[in-house]
Amino acid sequence: MDDQTWDVIIIGGGGAGLSAAVSATERGASVLLFEAEETLGGSTQLSAGLFTAAGTSVQAELGVEDSPEKFFQHYMDLNRWLLKPGLIRAFCESAGPALEWLISLGVEVPAHESTNAHMPGLCQAGVEDLWRGHVPNGQGYGLVQVLERAARSAGVDIVLNTRVQSLLSDPHGVRGVVVDDEEIHCSAVVIASGGFARDRGLLEKYYPYALRAAESLFVAAGPGSRGDHLSFGEQVGAAVAGEGYGLMLPTAYFQSRHHWEAGFPPRSRIHVNSAGRRFMNEDASYAVSPGLIDRQGGSTWMIFDETARESLPGGYVDWNADNILAEVAAGRLLCADSLAELAEKMTVPAEALEYTVAAWNEELPAGEDPVFLRTDSLAAKGASEPIAPLDTPPYYAARYLPAELVCTHAAPEIDARARVIDRYGRPVPGLFAAGEAGGGVLGSTYVGGGNAVANAITMGRTAGHSAAEHRGSGRGASTESLTEETT
């Protein structure tokens, strides 16, 4: 490496880094990418690949009338306008073109309706007003395969098993990186090293909410999510955006893996609070369900019966019929022959729990749920069978809480061109960031299904273009030039 130079160095080979690499080569830059792990992909390859975007060809084929303007309004409203409108407008305008770009590289998103994040097609995965969740064939793994192929065929030099230690900078900006104690020079650096879900100290500092799950906390994010972006940012005095934000999925206390492996709770279940009352649609999107749980101010529970337990399919680690019994035997999962007895163990009022279950049994199996509208979400998931009543003892109660840490949002702040911004509000010359490593796009409320992958790919692509442009002019690429490039 000593006698070679590159225009752009990219730190991290997940969705953002690979997108940045491919897009920088499209602007004629030579690119060197370092990946700390043995393989490319990071959290992106573990994901469903669900990608939120507006005004796409897939939506058009299905007759969904959408636009970046509608997406922007929805995004800002959901985040109570706490994000920078200019950055979010650029993201919302660029997400559709980024999806079309992926399609042009070989990603397939079939133009049919999908009822969940694991079925390729277009779905309404979260609380979005319109169908915006694009699920690709092969999911996150498929996205990474396509991007890796594109990067290799564009001549990107990829170095695996190599963790970048620090940035090289001088008063004029960033000039390269240090790896294996060696200095490697370039014109621009893109930080795409993902989040910090696996670093407890950084969680304490930037996302202490995650630690409220205590011993139930488990991290789904990739092994490379160690938070190096925050130390790179500190080196150059970068501002931090997205502090206190991240994505925690609610799970039963005993779940220990993402549901690919953990399995799924039974469809016939009720979520109740410490008053013994239902407080949410049990299918509520993870965009809002952690907030609903937090508002209960105490324990929340998932209740199901013996029929539901017996109906759990085998082959999954956590949600299988035997594991439920093992948790009961260990004294961790509550079990009783009557609802009154279960209520006593839960320390919730028995009359409330009995009434809640009786009302649920009357309404849900008959296809009605006037208070929480679960019937709507079951229909959106393509459920055709009526939901079974909860009337077969014994009954079970599992603590239910936000405990699965998927991604973190605090990172060096970026602007619409993916330039890293310093504490004084100035762009740091030669430094760009994207994905979980680029702060400001992912806010307090997760938009979609598909917010984080869309952020990684869209802002990664922007960062690659801007970094390549920086080499020539010292100025980043304009946002307009990216959004006009819809294929």
Ligand X SMILES: Cc1cc2nc3c(=O)[nH]c(=O)nc-3n(C[C@H](O)[C@H](O)[C@H](O)COP(=O)(O)OP(=O)(O)OC[C@H]3O[C@@H](n4cnc5c(N)ncnc54)[C@H](O)[C@@H]3O)c2cc1C
Catalog residues that contact ligand X under the rule CB under 6 A: 11-17, 34-37, 42-44, 46-50, 117, 140, 163-164, 192-194, 220-222, 224-226, 228, 258, 406-407, 435-437, 450-454, 456
Q: Which of 9, 24, 11, 1 has its CA nearest to residue 151?
A: 24
**Residue 192 corresponds to which amino acid?**
A
Residue 159, strand partner residues: 34
**Residue whose CB is less far from ligand X, 49 or 276:** 49
Q: CB 12 → ligand X: shortest distance, Å?
A: 3
**Residue whose CB is less far from ligand X, 108 or 322:** 108
**Residue whose CB is less far from ligand X, 42 or 96:** 42
3-class state of residue 257 by DSSP: coil
Q: CB 346 → ligand X: shortest distance, Å?
A: 30
Q: How far apart are CA 120 and CA 108, in angstroms?
A: 9
Strands 31-34 and 157-159: parallel
How many other CB atoms sit within 10 Å of the CB of residue 148? 20
3-class state of residue 188 by DSSP: strand
**Residue whose CB is less far from ligand X, 14 or 142:** 14
Q: CB 9 → ligand X: shortest distance, Å?
A: 10
Q: How far apart are CA 191 and CA 174, in angstroms?
A: 11
Residue 294 C-alpha from the chain's centroid: 20
Q: CB 259 → ligand X: shortest distance, Å?
A: 9
Q: CB 168 → ligand X: shortest distance, Å?
A: 14
**Residue whose CB is less far from ligand X, 105 or 336:** 105
Q: CB 287 → ligand X: shortest distance, Å?
A: 11
Q: How many CA atoms lie within 13 A of 432 on its CB side?
A: 37
**Residue whose CB is less far from ligand X, 203 or 272:** 203
Q: CB 371 → ligand X: shortest distance, Å?
A: 30
Phi, psi of 11 (to 5 degrees): -100, 105
**Residue 119 corresponds to which amino acid?**
M
Q: CB 47 → ligand X: shortest distance, Å?
A: 3
Contact 447, 79 (CB under 8 A): yes
Q: CB 338 → ligand X: shortest distance, Å?
A: 38
Strands 240-241 and 270-272: unpaired
**Residue whose CB is less far from ligand X, 389 or 412:** 412
**Residue whose CB is less far from ligand X, 177 or 333:** 177
Contact 431, 8 (CB under 8 A): no
Q: How far apart are CA 34 and CA 289, in angstroms?
A: 37
Q: CB 15 → ligand X: shortest distance, Å?
A: 4
SS in 3 state form for 367-383? CCCCCCCHHHHHHHCCC
Q: Which residue has the tokens 């979980």?
A: 436
Contact 408, 196 (CB under 8 A): yes
Strands 395-408 and 246-252: antiparallel
**Residue whose CB is less far from ligand X, 164 or 346:** 164
**Residue whose CB is less far from ligand X, 412 or 450:** 450
**Residue whose CB is less far from ligand X, 47 or 483:** 47
Q: CB 72 → ligand X: shortest distance, Å?
A: 18
In 170-295, where does DSSP find H-type helix?
A: 200-206, 228-235, 259-262, 289-294
Q: What secondary structure letter does DSSP report for 214? A: G
Residue 251, strand partner residues: 401
How many other CB atoms sit within 10 Å of the CB of residue 188? 30
Euclidean distance between the first and the last CA atom of the chain, given in angstroms as a whole number: 36
Q: CB 25 → ligand X: shortest distance, Å?
A: 17
**Residue whose CB is less far from ligand X, 226 or 470:** 226
**Residue 191 corresponds to which amino acid?**
I
Residue 33, strand partner residues: 10, 158
How many other CB atoms sit within 10 Å of the CB of residue 106? 12
Q: CB 439 → ligand X: shortest distance, Å?
A: 11
**Residue whose CB is less far from ligand X, 163 or 277:** 163
Q: How many CA atoms lie within 13 A of 441 on its CB side?
A: 34
